[in-house]
Chain A
C-alpha cells in the first residue's frame, strides 16, 4: 500500500505548491452571471418544446393522460414484444399494466437486470430546452443500474415536472445534489464511425418517454 505518511506528504506538498503558485496573484473579479435563469414560464410551450427536443434526439414520445398510463405502457411493451418489465421500488401501482410480467428490483444482480426486456420508471424533472430527463434516485426512479442495463427504458414525465432550462433544473436539484443523478438526453449513441450517429451502444437503445397530463 502507498504509505499513509507518503500520502499526507503528497497532500501537503500539493497544497503548498498551489499556495506558492498563487502567491502575489491579483484576486479575480467577481463572477458575472448574466445568463438566463428561467424563461417566461409558459407551461404548454415547455411541454411542446420538450417533446420536440426528445424526438429530435431519437426518443419515442407519447402524450397521455395519467390515468391512461397502464394502457400506454402495455402498448409500448406489446409493440416490442416485451414480456418481462422491471420496476423500481416506489413506482405507483396505478401505473403498472396487468398484462405484463412485472419484476420488482429488489437488488437484482447485473446479470438478472440483463435478463429484463425493459424497465419503466418515473423521473425527478425534465428540461425542455435540452430534451433532458433527470433521474435522482427518488421513489419510482430506481437505482442507476436499473435504467442502464435493460435495452428499453420507458420513462414517465408528468407535465408539472417540466422546467424550461438547465439553470431552473439546478434550482430544483440543489437539495438532492448528493444523490446519484443521471441526466438522460435521448438513447445511448456514438458518432465514432465516420461521424454517423448510431443509436444504442451500451445504455438502453430505446428510450420511450410518456408525457403525462394530470388535468
Chain B
C-alpha cells in the first residue's frame, strides 16, 4: 500500500484538485450546518444512532441470523462471503447462470473495496457504473477521491471534453444540465435493456429482511427495479435491528452527507415482490475483515460508520490532500481508522498518522464515532509492531494526556513554554532529534498561545 506522506505530496502539488476540493468541501459543510441546525433534537438523534449501532455490533450474530431468515422468507437468496474473493465469485456465478455479459451498477464503496468490477471483467462480464460521477471516472479510467462526490477533483470543462470523446453523439457545451442530459440519454438505453443489476446497501433491517438504499439521481432505483435479476452486497455491519430504527438514520444520513433534509430517493424493498421489480434477488453478506475490526473493543466503533462523509469535509488533512493520497477506498478520517483495521495495521501503518487529531470529525459524526481516540489507539498498535521508539513513547503519552481534560490543559500550558525555542515565524519547522520525521512533510502548528478552553472560560 502506498505511503500517505509520499502520496499526499504528489496530490498537494495538484492545484486544480485543491481548488475544487476547497470549494466543494466548504459548500457541503455550510449546507450541512444549515440543515442540522434546523433540528432541535440533533444531539438526541446522534445518541440514538450511536446506541443502535453499538447494539447491532454487540449482538451481530443474532441479528445476522434474523436478517437471513426474514429475507429468505420474503424470497431472497442469501449468500455469505468470508472475503472479497468469495463475494466476487458469487456475483460472477449469478451472472453466468443467466448468461449475462453486462451488469448495471450503482455506486457502492463496498463493491469498490472488494474490486468487484475487476473480478467481473476477469470473468468476461462488464460492470457499467451508473452514478453520474462514477460514470465519469469509469470513462476516464480514474478512481474516486471522495465518498459522496467521487468526481470532486474534476471540473465541468474536463467532464465536457471527456463526454465529447466518449458518449456524446453531438457537440456539447459545459453547461451542467447539458452534461447531465448526455449521461441520461446514454444510460437510459442501458437501463432499459439491463438483465442484471448490482448494488450495495446503506442499511439492512434484521427484523424484516429489508434492504434500504439512499441516493439522489435515480440510477439506484433503475438498477434495483428494472433488471429481472438483482444482487445486493451488504457488509455485515450494515444491519439495524428493527424497521423503526430507520427513522433515526434517515434523519441523520441525508443531513450529514449531502446537507439535504432528505435525499431525493430512498428505496426499501424486501426479497421479491410479484409483479414489482426483480423476480430474482440475491443478497451477499460480506465479512472481508469486518470481524477482525469487531474483535478490537476500542477500534470496533469504526463499524458504526454510515458513510456520510461529513468527517472528510471538515478534516484539515483531507481538505488539502484529497482522497487519492489515502490510497484506499475509504478516505479521510474514517479511512484512516477503518482501512488499517480491515486490512491490518501493518499493511497501512501510515494511515493512522494522516490526521492532526483536531477532533472536528468527531463533532460532526452523526453516530458519534470518536475518531481521534481510535487513531491514537491504532498508532500505539503501529508502534507495537515497530518496537519501542521515541515515537511510541510520545504516542503513549499523548493517549494519556488526551485521556483527561485536566492533564490536557496542563500539557498545553507546558507545551507553550517548552516549544518557545523552536517556533520560527509562527510555526514549528523542524522538531529536534528523533521526532524530526514528524515535521519533514509539513510544518507543525505550534500549540496555540491561548487554548480554546482558556479563551472559552474567560469569555464574557
A182 touches B159 (CB 8 A): no
**Cα distance A204–B184 when bound, in Å?**
11
Q: Does A53 contact B (CB under 8 A)?
A: yes
Given A14-B291, A18-B294, A148-B225, check contact A190 B216 (CB 8 Å).
Answer: yes
Q: Are A18 and B64 in contact (CB under 8 A)?
A: yes
B47 & A28 in contact (Cβ 8 Å cutoff): no
Task: List B contacts of A179 (CB < 8 A).
Answer: 270, 273
Q: Which of B72-93 contact A (CB under 8 A)?
A: 74, 79-82, 86, 89-90, 93
Question: In whole angstroms, how far apart are the Cα atoms of A127 and B209 in the complex?
Answer: 24
Is there an interface contact between B291 and A21, defined as CB atoms closer than 8 Å? yes
Majority DSSP secondary structure for residues of B touching A = helix
Judged by a CB distance under 8 angstroms, whether B183 is at the interface is yes
Interface check A192, CB cutoff 8 A: yes
What is the CB-to-nearest-CB distance from A99 to chain B, in angstroms, rounded to a whole number?
29
Flag if A28 contacts B287 (CB, 8 Å): no
Is A121 an interface position by the 8 A CB rule? no
Q: Report if A131-B264 is in contact (Cβ < 8 Å); known contacts: A19-B61, A31-B48, A34-B41.
A: no
A residues within 8 A CB of B222?
Answer: 148, 202
Interface size on A, residues (CB 8 A): 77
Q: Is the CB of B218 within 8 A of A203?
A: yes
| A-B CB contact pairs (8 Å), 27 listed | A2-B90, A10-B79, A14-B80, A17-B287, A18-B60, A18-B294, A20-B291, A21-B294, A22-B60, A28-B51, A30-B51, A31-B54, A34-B48, A35-B44, A36-B40, A148-B225, A166-B247, A166-B251, A183-B267, A185-B260, A185-B265, A189-B264, A195-B149, A196-B176, A198-B179, A202-B221, A203-B221
Q: Interface of B with A (CB < 8 Å)?
A: 20, 23-24, 27-28, 40-41, 44-45, 47-48, 51-52, 54-55, 57-58, 60-61, 64-65, 74, 79-82, 86, 89-90, 93, 97, 130-133, 136, 149-151, 155-156, 159, 176-177, 179-180, 183-184, 187-188, 191-192, 205, 208-210, 216-219, 221-222, 225-226, 236, 243-244, 246-248, 250-251, 254, 258, 260-271, 273, 275-277, 285, 287, 291-292, 294-295, 297, 300
